[in-house]
Amino acid sequence: MRRLIPPLAVAATAAGLSLLAWAEYVNWRASHRALGVSTGTDGIEAVVVLGYRDRGPKANFVNRYRVRVGLRSQSSRARESVLVLCGGSVGGDIPEAELMARYARSRGYAGRILLDSTSTTTQENIKNAIALVEDADAIKVVSNPPHAAVGRQYLRSLRPDLADRLARGADYRFGEAPLLKVAAAVIAGRYHARRRAELR
């Protein structure tokens, strides 16, 4: 006799799959938002990695993930590529940018690194990074895709003249880090809801 799957289990599985599919779409869509016309394939590129609250003394899981995204976002065809790591001492004594720099070096990265080690918000990340990236031909802002999109929007509002240089990083891969995608999608939803409420 065939054993039936309980309806509650079927419903829970369907809900879970729907949540993952929704988060996948939100992250994919965000990875294409607020981009410029630069392809980021030649010239000088700056890859801006946005930090996440970190107690230290080592980079936490989220910041390690973001550094890996930053490293894989660097173009092999760029004449020069610089990694710009952003984040101050928000959750601990050591700035997030320094923790991320140590992690990048531990992975064998020997390229150029610039640090913004004083910012405490995403808007400050971008504001402080501008002086470090304004001479680049292509600017890639990376993090979780919805967070990176917010960063690009801030850059557009602060320095419209740099908007066309915004290029897509490699922060979206299908099926990668599904729980981070769900968290990022939920946080993005709350952020945009607050922004809409403020504009009313």
pLDDT digits (tens, 9 = 90+) for 137-169: 999 999 999 999 999 999 999 999 999 999 999
Averaged confidence pLDDT in the chain: 92
Share of the chain above pLDDT 90, in %: 81
Q: Looking at residue 38, what is its pLDDT? A: 74
* pLDDT at residue 1 in the model: 46
pLDDT of residue 200: 72
- Tell me the C-alpha distance between 52 and 36, whole Å: 25
Q: Across residues 8-37, what is the average pLDDT?
A: 89
- The predicted-structure confidence for 166-198, as pLDDT tens digits, reads as follows 999 999 999 999 999 999 999 988 888 887 887
Task: Give mean pLDDT, residues 65-82.
Answer: 96
DSSP state of 159: -
Residues 6+ apart with CB under 8 A from 104: 67, 70, 71, 83, 85, 113
Query: What count of other Cβ atoms lies within 10 Å of the Cβ of residue 46?
Result: 27
Q: Read off the pLDDT band of 134 (50, 70, 90).
A: very high
Residue extents of the structural domains in the chain? 44-187
Q: What is the pLDDT of residue 198?
A: 76
Give whole-number Cα distances, 104 to 99, 109, 152, in Å: 9, 6, 23
Residue 148's Cβ-count burial label (10 Å; 0-12, 13-18, 19+) is buried
Q: Which CATH number fits domain 44-187: 3.40.50.720, 3.30.230.10, 3.40.50.620, 3.90.180.10?
A: 3.40.50.620
Measure the CA–CA gap between 76 and 147, rounded to whole angstroms: 25
Closest by Cα among 87, 81, 105, 77 to 49: 87
Spatial contact of 151 and 49, defined as CB atoms under 8 Å apart: no
